[in-house]
Amino acid sequence: MSNVVASGKVVLFRYTLTNDQGETLDSSDGGDPMPYLHGAGNIVPGLERQMTGKAVGARFQADVPPAEGYGVRDPDGAKVFERNLFPPGAHLAAGMQFMVQDQDGQHMPMWIISVGEDQVHVDFNHPLAGQALHFAVEIVSMRDATAEEIHHGHPHGPDGHGGHSHSH
């Protein structure tokens, strides 16, 4: 009974993500199943928790509250920046994600809400913050992660020999 989802497994799954209104937000439909390394925080915590112990072929619904998804909305997350704080010539558009550094040198993501002539409205909340997430999941396959994958904290291709090389 070792072939169930647990830490150190690379799991391939298909999913459709809907919100409380039943609108599809994201889906693996039509593409390859998505690989992730279980126990490494590659997917939102509430989904990872509900994956635990599932076997290949399992189909289930995972309902994830905001706190276990992309977080609750921080009302102070919305900011207005001067346009000239962005690189000159950078193409800026609503929905784009930027990484910025805070005073402590921590990298954090922000999303552009709207772009004005002199000012850019941004939000440090993930676009799905504050939303309950409903995943329809099918577990397609799984395998043991390699030592390198566990060291990196992410899978290197679905079958583990995708010729992936990088340094981090």
Give the binding site for Zn ion (CB under 5 A): 152
| φ, ψ for residue 24, nearest 5 deg | -75, 120
Nearer to Zn ion, 87 or 163 (CB): 163
Nearer to Zn ion, 83 or 152 (CB): 152
**What does 54-89 look like in DSSP terms, one character per residue?**
PBTT-EEEEEE-GGGTT----GGGEEEEEGGGSPTT
C-beta separation of 19 from 26 below 8 A = no
Q: What is the dihedral of CA 16, 21, 22, 28, to 10 degrees?
A: -20
Residue identified by tokens 């002199």 is 118
Nearer to Zn ion, 37 or 51 (CB): 37
For Zn ion, the nearest residue by Cβ is 152
Provide, rounded to whole angstroms, the least separation between the CB of residue 76 and Zn ion.
34
C-beta separation of 95 from 111 below 8 A = yes
Provide, rounded to whole angstroms, the least separation between the CB of residue 3 and Zn ion.
24
| φ, ψ for residue 4, nearest 5 deg | -125, 160
Nearer to Zn ion, 37 or 128 (CB): 37
Nearer to Zn ion, 121 or 152 (CB): 152
Provide, rounded to whole angstroms, the least separation between the CB of residue 168 and Zn ion.
6
Provide, rounded to whole angstroms, the least separation between the CB of residue 139 and Zn ion.
23
Provide, rounded to whole angstroms, the least separation between the CB of residue 37 and Zn ion.
10
